[in-house]
């Protein structure tokens, strides 16, 4: 039963440079190992067919960041168990496709499909090399999928720009870059800046042999913006959701105490010029 499984034990923590292949290997290992516990912990918040952008609970039903999706072909990057895609199908999209690095996350998508009678097309792939044709989607989006885990933000953003058709919209949420300065603890104790915003070395958990088994990458606000522009896209907005009064949920380093003082999420919106 998936709800009896725990997260992988954290390994030794390092701060160092990590390339694309090592990041992808670590991401696959970690998300395959963590998928059961992750879905058990967050499945209710995400809902089987729900579209939540972030731990603040920004819901696409109210936010409408993707605009009108009816009749459109939509791609989700790092789709996890496909909750967003399933919600979009109720919004009249022509087609929605999801991809994710971790096979176990996609197996959860299949499990939810079986339980709910959906059939969401999903593919196992890496956001660093999207297996889709140029100009093939009207909308590309990601809700905390993939982008916080890639070393070269500009190449993953270029991939998103490549598969988006001219006139299409790209929206993605990531950890707010300012969060990099703070410890993971989202309580009063975690209100102290303890690392440099400008330090781009990755956060790495290693196994006993020094191999990365979990990696997160930091990109500053400027890094994201430059990556969007370099991908040939035009930035439209950067949404910084405030913590809502009625959300008491703690999700890793996100929670109501720090969330009321410091932004935890950045949602970038861009379009591809015609």
Ligand X SMILES: C[S@@+](CC[C@H](N)C(=O)[O-])C[C@H]1O[C@@H](n2cnc3c(N)ncnc32)[C@H](O)[C@@H]1O
Encoded tokens for 135: 């100009």
Secondary structure of 196-234 in the HEC alphabet? Answer: CCCCCCEEEEECCCCCEEEEECCCCHHHHHHHHHHCCCE
By CB under 6 A, which span of 63-71, 123-131, 238-246, 252-260 interacts with ligand X? 123-131
Told to check if 51 binds ligand X by CB under 6 A, we report no
Closest CA to 270 of 56, 84, 66, 51: 66
User: DSSP secondary-structure letter at 5?
Assistant: P
Q: Which is nearer to ligand X, 112 or 228 (CB)?
A: 112
Binding status of residue 60 toward ligand X by CB under 6 A: no
264 binds ligand X (CB under 6 A): no
Residue 143 is a binding residue for ligand X (CB under 6 A): yes
CB of 120 to ligand X, least distance (A): 13
CA distance 105 to 79: 8
Torsion of CA 166, 171, 174, 177, to 10 degrees: 70
Least Å distance between CB 24 and ligand X? 6
Contact call for residue 172 and ligand X (CB under 6 A): no
127 binds ligand X (CB under 6 A): yes
* 268 near ligand X (CB under 6 A): no
DSSP letter for 251, please. Answer: B
Where does this chain bind ligand X (CB under 6 A)? Answer: 24, 27, 31, 46, 78, 80, 84, 100-102, 105, 126-128, 143-146, 149-150
């Amino acid at each position: 039963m998936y709800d009896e499984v725990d997260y992988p034990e954290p390994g030794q923590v390092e701060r160092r440079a990590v390339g694309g292949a090592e990041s992808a290997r670590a991401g696959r290992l970690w998300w395959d190992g963590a998928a059961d516990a992750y879905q058990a912990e967050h499945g209710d918040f995400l809902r089987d067919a729900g579209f939540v952008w972030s731990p603040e609970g920004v819901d696409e039903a109210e936010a409408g960041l993707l605009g009108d999706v009816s009749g459109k072909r939509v791609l989700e990057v790092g789709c996890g168990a496909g909750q967003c895609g399933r919600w979009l199908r109720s919004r009249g999209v022509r087609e929605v496709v999801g991809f994710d690095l971790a096979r176990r996350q996609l197996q959860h998508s299949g499990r939810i499909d079986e339980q709910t009678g959906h059939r969401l097309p999903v593919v196992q792939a890496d956001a660093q090399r999207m297996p889709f044709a140029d100009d093939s989607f009207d909308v590309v989006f990601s809700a905390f999928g993939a982008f916080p885990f890639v070393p070269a933000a500009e190449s993953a953003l270029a991939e998103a720009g490549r598969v988006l058709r001219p006139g299409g919209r790209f929206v993605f949420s990531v950890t707010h870059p300012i969060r990099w300065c703070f410890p993971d603890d989202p309580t009063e104790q975690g209100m102290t800046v303890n690392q440099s915003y400008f330090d781009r070395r990755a956060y790495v958990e290693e196994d006993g042999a020094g191999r990365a088994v979990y990696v997160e990458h930091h990109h500053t606000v400027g890094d994201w913006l430059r990556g969007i522009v370099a991908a040939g896209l035009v930035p439209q907005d950067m949404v910084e959701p405030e913590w809502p009064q009625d959300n008491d949920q703690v999700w890793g380093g996100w929670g109501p105490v720090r969330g009321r003082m410091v932004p935890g999420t950045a949602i970038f919106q861009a379009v591809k010029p015609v």
